[in-house]
Amino acid sequence: MENQWLELSSNFGLIATCVLTFNLFLGMLLSSAYKRSPIWKKLPPLIKRVSLDDLHNWTAYVALGLVLGHMLFLLPDASLKYKPLDLFFPVNAPHQVFWTILGALAFYALLAVIITTQKKVKSRLGFRLWKNIHLVSYGTALLFVVHGVVMDPLLKDRPVDWFDAEKVLSELCGLALIGATIIRYRHFRRRGQGAVA
Ligand code: HEM
């Protein structure tokens, strides 16, 4: 890739996709009574000592930082033609407006989930509303996976190259998320009640 800023942006977007995927897995585990699972019980004590709660929180912050980097690295090179407004409100973005808007929506949804999880905000919202906002993350996953697959990393508005290594990475994250969501949903159904806690 000839442009270093664009390459950095691209790499940050890809790492953010992987970190967010991992973060969503952790969220699904946390809401599935994972400690009672026979697989968890068999894991080495070193792994069982890790707080999944903390890991879930921190991966969200790391992902937010990566996404901000992904966006901001589009600015230093004037030839890319991105203005600060295009990052946060991309209706006039220089390339692939619709698919960029999906990325921006994913960014705002991630921000909303992080803000509403701050202790003071969370206690004011109450559990049910906080949880409903948190569940938006399944939609967020769909948004960032589609955005990551369709965006042209060279910004030349080319059609998707489904077998390009970077695209395969986003596609695998998407497939893994679909699989994990199905397992999570089955678990919810088996419990046979409305509480998604
Ligand atoms: C949760 C939020 C986001 C994630 C996870 C994400 C992830 C990605 C991924 C994986 C790619 C493809 C990289 C490749 O194939 O090499 C990409 C491309 C792109 N994204 Fe995002 N993105 C997000 C938000 C945004 C936002 C808010 C913008 C606003 C401008 C944006 C602009 C772009 C652009 C211009 C490209 C093509 C150039 C490049 O590859 O850097 N993204 N994004």
Which of 34 and 175 is assigned the larger pLDDT? 175
Q: Does a structural domain hold residue 59? A: yes
Structure confidence at residue 192 (pLDDT): 60
Q: Look at residues 72, 63, 77 and name the one whose alpha carbon lies nearest to residue 4.
A: 77
CA distance 45 to 35: 12
Q: Which of 147, 154, 155, 157 best tests ligand 1's pocket when mutated (most atoms within 8 Å of CB)?
A: 147
Identify whether 197 is part of a domain: no
**Does any domain span residue 128?**
yes
To test the pocket of ligand 1, the residue of 10, 62, 88, 136 to mutate (highest count of ligand atoms within 8 Å of its CB) is: 10
Identity (one letter) of the amino acid at 69?
G
Residue numbers of the domain that contains 186: 4-191
- The DSSP code sequence of 130-171 is HHHHHHTHHHHHHHHHHHHHHS-TTSS-PPP-TTSHHHHHHH
Average pLDDT over residues 31-50: 90
90 lines ligand 1 (CB under 6 A): yes
The tally of domains found in the chain comes to 1
The answer to the question of residue 120 being in a domain is yes
Question: Confidence band (pLDDT; 50, 70, 90) for 197?
Answer: very low
Rounded to the nearest whole angstrom, what is the distance from the C-alpha of residue 102 to the centroid of ligand 1? 9
CB of 67 sitting under 6 A from ligand 1: yes
For residues 163 and 39, the model is more confident at: 163
Give domain status of residue 185, yes or no: yes
Please name which of 117, 137, 114 lies closest in space to residue 127, comparing C-alpha atoms.
117
Identify the pLDDT of residue 196: 44
pLDDT in tens, 84-120: 999 999 999 999 999 999 999 999 999 999 999 999 9
| Cβ of 170 below 6 Å from ligand 1 | yes
CA dihedral over 184, 188, 189, 190, signed as positive or negative: positive
pLDDT at position 193, please?
A: 53
141 pocket-lining for ligand 1 (C-beta < 6 Å): no
**pTM metric for this prediction:** 0.94
Q: Does 115 map to a domain?
A: yes
Q: Is 104 in the pocket of ligand 1 (CB under 6 A)?
A: yes
Determine which of 12-16, 39-43, 102-106 has the lowest per-residue pLDDT on average: 39-43
Domain membership of residue 114 (yes or no) is yes
Token digits of residue 195: 């509480």
Q: How many CA atoms lie less than 13 Å away from 79 in the CB half-sphere? A: 8
Is 134 a member of any domain?
yes
